[in-house]
Structure 1
Amino acid sequence: MTGQAATDRPSVLFVCVHNAGRSQMAAGWLEALGGGRVEVRSAGSAPADTVNPAAVEAMAEVGIDLTAASPKVLTSEAVQASDVVVTMGCGDACPFFPGKRYEDWALEDPAGKGVDSVRPIRDEIRARVLDLLDSLGVEPVADATPLEEPSPPRE
């Protein structure tokens, strides 16, 4: 891992436009699956007023409570303080700092969708968070939020 902050924990920042759906679900998964061994942040380039209710409901189904989460504005300081910056459809709005690890996750935007349409997005984010934990050398919490029915494999 490169550029870790002053703590011994890696830090990850999830960024999407409204910080109301994808980035909030990713932060929830990373907090649950990382077991406190990763510093988690999320922000948006144009934050919404509230977290998407369908995202809150979909995450509640797997035991992750996003009811206290609130969209936050993206700052250069948050990017600088993070080891990994994961963008989700924010385009060029995310500030770039040399030496940071950036990943862009092409995920469907859950805005305006019902919970049935948000579940597959939630499940894809979980799989990507597990891959991210592996790349950071952090073993996921074994009993954290198992999915009741795994999504069918992608072709």
Structure 2
Amino acid sequence: MAEGGDRMEQLPPARPLDSIDRDILRILQTDGRASIRSVADRVHVSRANAYARINRLMDDGVIRGFSARVNHERAGQGASAYITLKIVQNSWRTVREQLQALPGAAHIALVSGDFDVLLLVHTPDNRTLRELVLTRLQSIPEVLSTRTLLVFEETDLDPGPGSAGDPLRDS
């Protein structure tokens, strides 16, 4: 969950991406388990070149990591919600740290508009979700108000067969 955040501020500026880099990113976004050999073949470069490019993209912070897409309901997290929060001005870093520690927190964003923070959570059931909102979130002193939007159904927009694993394997 701590992907990005202050870590991004410490990275040097990313080098410009060429068409091969962009093709590699598209492949890995579709299938994070793609092997170096497969990536190299699909973008028409050597395996060494593909490996070096992926490492550079990781070092530059362009690729932040690899993960699995999870069916939360089948994983025992049948209740999902987007929660909007209004927070005390200039309390983002403090609030973010507390939100990252919440069980089931999947995504946290500082946003503009009618509220300040958008939080996505996955919990086993509505009772656990209610406790998370009423007990945990609303007890954070910097949280002024919350609004909970239940997720009835989700659609994964990433058409790939999977995005888990280590693309730097050589199979």
TM value normalised by structure 1 = 0.27
Max Rg structure: 2
